Structure 1
Amino acid sequence: MHEQIRVVLVDDHVVVRVGLRAFLDTQPDIEIVGEAASGEEGVQVVSQVLPDVVLMDLLMPGIDGVEATRQVRGASPSTQVIVLTSYSEDERIFPAIKAGALSYLLKDVGPDALVAAIRAARRGEATLHPMVASRLMTELTSSRRSPLDTLTEREREVLTCIARGMSNAEIADHLVIGERTVKTHVSNILSKLHLQDRTQAAIMALRERLVPLDDEQNK
């Protein structure tokens, strides 16, 4: 007899959850032990039932799937998260993996492949959509270079200003550009570097020596 794999479904679309449950209920070794329609609810359900695997959507009301994944892994470290989403953009893939997701699948995954991914996750083995795997390999290969190499010259100038503690208005004045343009550059910087906020951007600028540490300390 197979050991039961306890699974929680987290997706804000009822039709998706109903379809997943209907199919997974046919698997003798998979038991759906909870469902949630939001990131917050997903974290609560996981904290209560401590499942083996969570199927996690990314775009949901309230906290998104990335933050929900981070909280799920904190609440139940033994629970493995499989991202199951329609989105394959880098700005969604990398934050999800960094947040603790083991596997990343797109919703066009075949039924048999999904079941195989759930069983693999129970064993602690990752399953990645081929497109996602390719992008992760590219990221790992390019990680030997400075991540700042992806920035334009103007974006590097804006990042330098951020590291020096300047506000958007101050950056606009310093670089003689519009404040809206500064906001666009900041958004692009965070997206390209896979960062959450300006503080992380400033830390990376210092770590990559875009701004000398003593320059930051003496400003």
Structure 2
Amino acid sequence: MNDKINILIADDHAILRDGLKSALSIDESLNIIGEAENGVEVIELCKKLNPDIILMDINMPEMDGIRASKHIKKECHHIKIIILTMFDNRQYISDALSAGIDGFVFKMAHIEELLKAIKTVYDGDEYFDPEVLKIMKQNYLRSDSAKNFDLTPREYEIITYIAKGLTVSEIADTLSISYSTVKNHRHNILSKLNLKNSAELVRYAITEGLIK
């Protein structure tokens, strides 16, 4: 990767922002270009700094991270947002996914997982902590069988892998097919199901009982 990934950190605790900067400094491909301590400030800095990725806390003063994410996705939809929080509240997770965020990682995760999330999201994929999937599974009822949306067996297979938290690259490796083929399958799946992103696809998979 030749270009550095420009990152904006949004968290109301200075000690956590400092810790993140220190932890991320081990990767020379990352460039921390700014910090915000509330939702209003992160929106302003987005316009000035145009980061590639925002690491966004949820519980912040003046404007929370979910409301800020909705605003940023509306005004600067090209900017990727990874929610980084200690809260595993189901409603927070549901609201964050509805805001159109690109990734969700818990603060107790190892730095390796956060780095993986950053690289995955930067490459145009989405990343969700496996714990998010567990919590979502508890929040949606499973039906007896999947509805017929004219999906192919391969598309159902890919839905299952996405719902289990695999990235596009990991699915491609698992199925021994190309990255672009998986991307095309995902695009077709979202189109057939009239869904916007992988987060909504995970909800569909849980509701329809495609993951156990």
Mapping of 1:170-209 within 5 angstroms? none
Deviations, residues 86-143 of structure 1 (Å, cap 9, x unaligned): 0011110010110111111110010111111101110122221212112335556659
Which structure has the highest helix share of the two? 1
CA-based RMSD of the aligned residues comes to 1.8
Assess, with a 3 A threshold, how the Cα gap between structure 1 residues 33 and 143 changes in structure 2: closer, same or farther: farther
Indicate conservation of the 8 Å contact 1:2/1:28, yes or no: no
Indicate conservation of the 8 Å contact 1:117/1:127, yes or no: yes
The corresponding residue for 2:26 is: 26
Give unpaired runs (5+ residues) of structure 1.
145-219
Indicate conservation of the 8 Å contact 2:90/2:139, yes or no: no
Give the TM-score, by structure 1 length: 0.62
Mapping of 1:64-143 within 5 angstroms? 64-137=64-137, 139=139, 142=142
Indicate conservation of the 8 Å contact 1:69/1:99, yes or no: yes
Distance 1:64 1:123 in 2: 27
Residue 10 (structure 2) pairs with residue 10 (structure 1): yes
Alignment-mate amino acid for residue 6 of structure 2 = R
Give unpaired runs (5+ residues) of structure 2.
145-212
Query: How many residues were matched structurally?
Result: 144
Give the TM-score, by structure 2 length: 0.64
Deviations, residues 17-58 of structure 1 (Å, cap 9, x unaligned): 001111212311100111100010011111111111100000
Assess, with a 3 A threshold, how the Cα gap between structure 1 residues 143 and 36 changes in structure 2: closer, same or farther: farther
Residue 36 (structure 2) pairs with residue 36 (structure 1): yes
- Runs of 4 or more above 6 Å deviation: none
Which range moved further: 44-53 or 131-140?
131-140
Alignment-mate amino acid for residue 78 of structure 1 = H
Match of 2:31, SS state, is strand
Assess, with a 3 A threshold, how the Cα gap between structure 1 residues 39 and 26 changes in structure 2: closer, same or farther: same
- Between 1 and 2, higher relative CO (CA 8 Å, sep ≥ 6) is seen in 2
